[in-house]
Amino acid sequence: MPLDHDPDWWRSAVVYQVYPRSFADADGDGTGDILGIIDRLDYLAELGVDAIWVSPWYPSPWADGGYDVSDYRDIAPELGTLEQADVFVTKAHELGLRVLIDLVPNHSSDEHAWFQRALAAEPGSAERDLYLFRNGRGADGDTPPNNWPAMFGGSAWERTESGGRPGQWYLHLFDVKQPDWNWENPVVADEFDAILRFWFDRGIDGFRIDVANSMAKAPGLPDLPVDPDTGEPQSHTLTGTAYMNQPHVHDILRRWRTVSDSYADSELGARIFVSEAWVTPVDELAKYVRDDELHTTFNFDALMCEWTAESQRNVINLTLRAMGDVGAPATWVLANHDTTRVVTRYGRPVTGARFTPDGMDLESFAGIGSVPEGVTDLGLGRKRARAAVLLELALPGGAYVYQGDELGLDEVEDLPEELLQDPTWERSGHTVRGRDGCRVPMPWTGSEAPYGFGPPASPPWLPQPDRWSELTAEGQDGDPRSHLSLYRAALAERRCNPALGDGGLIWDAEVPTGVLSFTREPGFRCVVNFGPDAYQLPVGAEVLIASGDASSRSVGADEAVWLRI
């Protein structure tokens, strides 16, 4: 496939997320690498996606899976070299695949040269002003400058020391090894413009912006209000707080848009952004994709939505209306490297948050991580995940596929504690296991671990469960009933069916409660049955693809079909 040069390619694109440490290990050190991704490019082209997003590949101490960047202009030696990255981008383009990479602008690693210089410099110095250093409170300055909690647990402030004496504190919204940049300092803003250009000039098609809602902080870094009952600071990160979704964050996004637009006349065209912003309600989120800001934004409301017809219909309506209001395409995403695998999530008694016609019922939101509740039914989860991908790929806009979801991989919930790497595990005092269970390396071939992830004698950085011998890409290839075959068929249909991708939908009236049915012109219909009763297909409709067995012309509970009408 030649590269799609339509300047609007991103409005309909299906983007495959590669988590590089866990994708394919060519050199046998147990960690995935760029040569491994290059080896599997044909697989991705054959799968039928339009673009690849590679999670951070920069030099990093890996305190947060590479989201702690120590050099924004290089490749982690564990993953490869800049030259290999260039080869990867060239080959991907030859196969018609666009390439997005991650930008982590809220924080760097504490091992970044500028942070090291800031630590060595005096309070009040220009070096310190690149980050958020403050004096502590209290007579000895031993109380943190404010009461903000870190996302991974504990305080968001860490005290420094110099010459054996305690000093200033620095802000880290995430891990202690992830100091926040000071975006009020123009040097920081200029540096990130230069980083964008560095990669755009190397042929990168766009960036996924990590925590795009967090760079701007409330002026003066004020304390959060305290809950009178618990004494804990109240931090509503989804709806906005002193360090999330501050209005002036949009100035930064507008600045980046001018950088990406300045490439409009280049061979690859203007470059694009997708924002990672866990922001609800969706009208707040839509501000991130106004026409002079970012291009698209992950639709986490839909990811967090429970598996019921009513909630799904509400979240779809809310999304399409809000994105339509700002002229941006919707995106649909079932999972990523931070969330419980979709097969497992949909197999749980509680599958997500409830959505009313007005938005998320915040009381019903139980968090994005792996929080097992009740017994998980993986068979049910896999069935629903098959239906869910047909729904996702039929909806207007673009879509994201997290690596391994096309194989129906489930969350690995019993990783040995001593192998857990997510900083959440340590910072929660070993009470929250964190996100490693969705980051277990891919099973490609064979019947024994490492299933072709790396050479036979190289144990992967996280162990794969025995049950994955049934789920390798090789084993699913050619089996028309496999998860992989369903993905391939749906992606192939999506490519050639003019009704799919960007556009609109019309809900079909007169379907029973529990069934969602919508039509897209010309002549396409998607039916999803959330159960419990089987739904008889309309007379004359041709089944294009079914998540279950549609030979009796009915759609069973937790199944979906695509129809030509």
Taking the complex as a whole, the smallest distance from the CB of residue 60 to ligand GLC amounts, in Å, to 11
Residues 6+ apart with CB under 8 A from 435: 65, 337, 338, 339, 369, 370, 422, 424
Active site residue 210: yes
If one counts every other C-beta atom within 10 angstroms of the C-beta of residue 288, the result is 27
| CA distance linking residue 438 with residue 421, whole number of Å | 12
If the CB atoms of residues 157 and 535 are measured against ligand GLC, the closer one turns out to be: 157
Please give the full DSSP string across 395-413, using - where no structure is assigned: SSSEEEEETTGGGT----T
Cα dihedral sign, 368-562-500-283: negative
In terms of CB distance, is 67 or 307 closer to ligand GLC?
A: 67
For residue 381, give the H/E element and its range. helix 378-394
338 binds ligand GLC (CB under 6 A): yes
Q: Is 227 a catalytic residue?
A: no
The answer to whether residue 33 forms part of the interface with ligand GLC (CB under 6 A) is no
**Which of 81, 510, 10, 58 is closest to 272 using CA atoms?**
10
Taking residue 371's Cβ as centre, other Cβ atoms within 10 Å add up to 12
What are the distances in angstroms from CA 506 to CA 355, 395, 503?
A: 20, 11, 11
CB-wise, 18 or 528, nearer to ligand GLC? 18
Pair 148, 220: CB distance under 8 Å: no
Cα–Cα distance measured from residue 398 to residue 323, given in angstroms and rounded to the nearest whole number: 12
Q: Which is nearer to ligand GLC, 63 or 550 (CB)?
A: 63
The reply on whether position 392 binds ligand GLC by CB under 6 A is: no
Pick from 526, 307, 339: which is nearest to 315 by CA?
307
Report the site for ligand GLC in 287-316 (rule: CB under 6 A).
none
Q: CB-wise, 19 or 562, nearer to ligand GLC?
A: 19
The smaller minimum CB distance to ligand GLC, of residues 293 and 338, is found at 338
Closest CA to 51 of 98, 95, 18, 4: 98
The residues in 92-131 that bind ligand GLC, with binding defined as CB under 6 A, are 104
- Give the side-chain half-sphere CA count within 13 A for 198: 14
Q: Strand 51-54 vs strand 14-18: parallel, antiparallel, or unpaired?
A: parallel
Q: Is 333 a residue that touches ligand GLC (CB under 6 A)?
A: no
546 touching ligand GLC, by CB under 6 A: no
Choose the stretch contacting ligand GLC; rule: CB under 6 A; options: 41-49, 62-70, 304-312, 464-472: 62-70
Q: Which among 59-67, 72-80, 228-236, 289-297 is the span making contact with ligand GLC, rule CB under 6 A?
A: 59-67
Closest approach of Cβ 421 to ligand GLC, in Å? 11
- Kindly tell me which residue out of 25, 64, 78, 205 binds ligand GLC, with binding defined by CB under 6 A: 64
Positions 449 through 478 that interact with ligand GLC (CB under 6 A): none
Identified catalytic residue from 68, 78, 205, 210: 210
* Cross-strand bridge partners of residue 275: 209, 297
| Residue 360 CA, distance from chain mean position | 20
Of 53, 115, 133, 174, the residue at the interface with ligand GLC (CB under 6 A) is 174
Closest-CB residue for ligand GLC? 67
CB of 439 to ligand GLC, least distance (A): 9
210 is a site residue for ligand GLC (CB under 6 A) = yes
Interface pick for ligand GLC out of 23, 53, 67, 562 (rule CB under 6 A): 67
Contact pick of 35, 63, 89, 211 for ligand GLC (by CB under 6 A): 211
And the tokens for 565?
A: 């009408």
Residue given tokens 């026409």 in the structure block: 291
Enumerate binding residues for ligand GLC (CB under 6 A).
64-65, 67, 104, 174, 210-211, 276, 337-338
